[in-house]
Structure 1
């Protein structure tokens, strides 16, 4: 059995929440998790849309992590 380890250079993660506070909490939690992998935030893109069925806002974000 051969085990090879490779370092993650880039990672893109997607987040969504029904309110901005929850979205921020999810992103912060994942930033802490990715610090263990030696990844830092390279860019963040966020958007607000309205859910078609409920008419309530839906907050989304895309976070690009890169190796230090």
Structure 2
């Protein structure tokens, strides 16, 4: 039986919330979680869209994490 550890080089995560503060908290929490995997934020993209059915804004973000250079 072979035991092998591979490092994660890239990881992309998607987040969605009804307000900016909640979106920011979700992203900050995942940044802390990914530090244990030796990942750091490489790029963040975000956008806001108005939902005419609910009458509220919808905020979303894509965060690209990359392995830290040791």
How would you bin the TM-score normalised by the shorter chain?
over 0.9
What's the Cα RMSD here?
A: 1.1
Instruction: Indicate the residue corresponding to 1:67 in structure 2.
Output: 67
- SS of residue matched to 2:27: helix
Q: TM-score, normalised by structure 1?
A: 0.93
| In structure 2, C-alpha distance between the alignment counterparts of 1:59 and 1:20, rounded to whole Å | 7
Instruction: Indicate the residue corresponding to 1:34 in structure 2.
Output: 34
Could you list the runs of 5+ residues in structure 1 that have no partner in the other structure?
none
Q: Structure 2 vs 1, CA of residues 21 and 2 (structure 1 numbering), >3 Å: closer, same or farther?
A: same
